[in-house]
């Protein structure tokens, strides 16, 4: 039996407390990275390879043997190989019997095979104890130590003792194991790394749909109408003016949609008289993606701020101010100072600043590192009470922006209202509904329901009528 080791990946510290020996089949990036990390945590690592003589990048101190020889050294074998190469394991069926096989493989796409890789492995080696784990941890994260984004490790398997052995390894690496049950959960675990922003799909679709609709709407209302009816070319509005109208509208609508889900949930709980019934599927998905909706709304609010900051340096704005000044001089007239307009303008800007500040605060507290450092009451105070305050301030900001313009017939070219009027519909609905929900006659039963109280059905509350014979 020939042993091979190299000095390509030296460990950073000497090991004092040796733990059990673990075998890893596969000397690729993930196998080497996982072995290196486990050796730092005190494990003895033995690699199984098709070509032990050609395996050169393994960590210092690890051994490289043939698959058969390596499997004999440990009761736990981590398979860091692709499903396509599982067939060679048939030859090791006797050697791998009763051993714990940890499947870390992932597929290229969802539903690539009829069964999961872990289930296929269990069918291939029925005498072995298959456990699915580590497939959500990347080789890069193991090498760099940047494990904050992938600290949780899903684990599933049919044998509880085998799962506990694997979870002990997970804990020793500084990760958090999460027992997902039997191998039936392997499909969910294997599909997880293949999903592209699963919780962001609906928020992104909604925001892109709103953006496209509002952009075309403003294009027709401001550019096409001006060209057709006034024979003026203001197509340059497409670069800054129209995006600066679209972004705040999308941000305000998305922020209102975040809290509209909670309003619907409260109304449904009041109607049912219990919290122990599932929400409809559409509402459940809506509730789960509220954080993502809020962050997308914050991104649009940031764009609005950036577009607003460049307004003074735009050529069109500077030309318009100079033209107005020249007209006043040529006509020998002066526009008197209007205190009311000054108050409205300053209040509009102040509300926008305060609303954006609270908007950013909501975004910061939604980050896992911040959310984990506050208790539930503090988190609820920020996300609920300050969230509604943010919605109120941003809605008032939009109202003051419009001022009395919504009463003017000239504000409706081709009968189309301004985009800011459209942005006020959902926020005003949310605020009005929330206003009614905070009434004691609504708030008290809702609070009781959320604390576990259930309204009894009427047929249980009515006293049973006694028949004449029983009387």
pLDDT in tens, 367-394: 877 877 888 888 888 888 999 999 999 9
Q: Give percent of the chain with pLDDT exceeding 90.
A: 53
Query: Which residues in 120-159 are b (16+ Cβ under 10 Å) and which e?
Result: bbbebbeebbbbbbbbbbbbebbbeeebeeeeebbbbbee
Residue 435 has pLDDT above 60, yes or no: yes
Q: Give alpha helix (H) positions in 52-200.
A: 67-71, 93-96, 117-124, 139-144, 160-172, 186-191
**What is the DSSP code (8-state) at residue 276?**
S
In this prediction, residues 197-211 reach a mean pLDDT of 90
Q: What pLDDT sits at residue 15? A: 38
Q: What pLDDT sits at residue 12? A: 37
> Which has the higher per-residue pLDDT, 199 or 2?
199
Q: Give percent of the chain with pLDDT exceeding 70.
A: 91
Q: What pLDDT sits at residue 6? A: 42
d(CA 195, CA 324): 56
Contact 182, 157 (CB under 8 A): yes
Residue 409 three-state SS: helix
- Lookup: tokens for 382: 């920020």
In this prediction, residues 273-280 reach a mean pLDDT of 90
Biggest CA pair distance of the chain:
105
The 10s digit of each residue's pLDDT in 340-353 is 888 988 998 999 99
- Phi, psi at residue 94, to the nearest 5°? -70, -40
In sequence order, the β-bridge partners of residue 111 are: none
- Residue 14 confidence class, pLDDT cut points 50, 70, 90: very low
pTM for this one? 0.72
Residue 74 has pLDDT above 70, yes or no: yes
- Lookup: tokens for 60: 């210092």
Residue 356 has pLDDT above 70, yes or no: yes
């Amino acid at each position: 039996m020939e042993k091979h080791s190299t000095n390509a990946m030296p460990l950073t510290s000497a090991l004092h407390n040796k733990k059990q020996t673990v075998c890893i089949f596969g000397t690729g990036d993930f196998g080497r990275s996982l072995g290196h990390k486990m050796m730092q945590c005190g494990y003895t690592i033995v690699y199984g390879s098709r070509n032990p003589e050609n395996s050169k990048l393994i960590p210092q101190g690890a051994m490289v043997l043939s698959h058969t020889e390596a499997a004999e050294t440990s009761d736990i074998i981590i398979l860091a190989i692709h499903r396509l190469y599982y067939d060679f394991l048939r030859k090791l069926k006797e050697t791998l019997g009763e051993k714990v096989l940890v499947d870390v493989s992932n597929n290229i796409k969802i539903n690539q095979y009829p069964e999961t890789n872990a289930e296929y492995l269990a069918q291939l080696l029925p005498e072995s104890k298959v456990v699915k784990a580590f497939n959500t941890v990347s080789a890069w994260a193991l090498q760099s130590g940047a494990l904050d984004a992938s600290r949780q490790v899903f684990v599933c398997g049919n044998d509880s003792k085998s799962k506990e052995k694997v979870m002990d390894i997970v804990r020793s690496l500084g990760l958090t194991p999460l027992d997902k049950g039997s191998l039936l959960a392997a499909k969910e675990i294997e599909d997880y790394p293949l999903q592209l922003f699963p919780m962001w799909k609906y928020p992104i679709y909604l925001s892109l749909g709103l953006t496209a609709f509002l952009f075309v709407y403003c294009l027709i209302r401001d550019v096409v109408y001006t060209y057709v009816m006034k024979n003026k070319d203001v197509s340059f509005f497409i670069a800054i003016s129209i995006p600066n109208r679209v972004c705040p509208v999308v941000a305000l609508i998305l922020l209102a949609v975040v809290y509209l889900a909670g309003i619907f949930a409260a109304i449904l709980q009041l109607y049912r008289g219990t919290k122990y019934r599932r929400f409809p599927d559409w509402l459940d998905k809506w509730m789960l993606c509220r954080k993502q909706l809020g962050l997308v709304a914050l991104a649009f609010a940031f764009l609005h701020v950036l577009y607003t900051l460049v307004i003074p340096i735009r050529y069109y704005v500077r030309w318009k101010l100079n033209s107005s000044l020249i007209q006043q001089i040529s006509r020998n007239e002066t526009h008197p100072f209007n205190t009311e307009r000054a108050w409205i303008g300053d209040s509009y800007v102040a509300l926008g600043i305060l609303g954006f500040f609270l908007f950013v605060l909501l975004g910061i507290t939604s980050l896992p590192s911040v959310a984990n450092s506050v208790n539930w009451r503090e988190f609820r105070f920020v996300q609920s009470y300050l969230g509604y305050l943010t919605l109120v301030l941003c809605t008032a900001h939009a109202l003051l922006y419009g001022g009395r313009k919504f009463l003017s017939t000239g504000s409706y070219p081709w009968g189309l209202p301004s985009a800011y009027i459209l942005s006020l519909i959902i926020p005003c609905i949310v605020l009005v509904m929330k206003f009614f929900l905070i009434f004691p006659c609504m708030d008290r039963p809702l609070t009781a329901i959320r604390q576990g109280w259930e309204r009894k059905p009427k047929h249980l509350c009515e006293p049973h009528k006694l028949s004449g014979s029983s009387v």
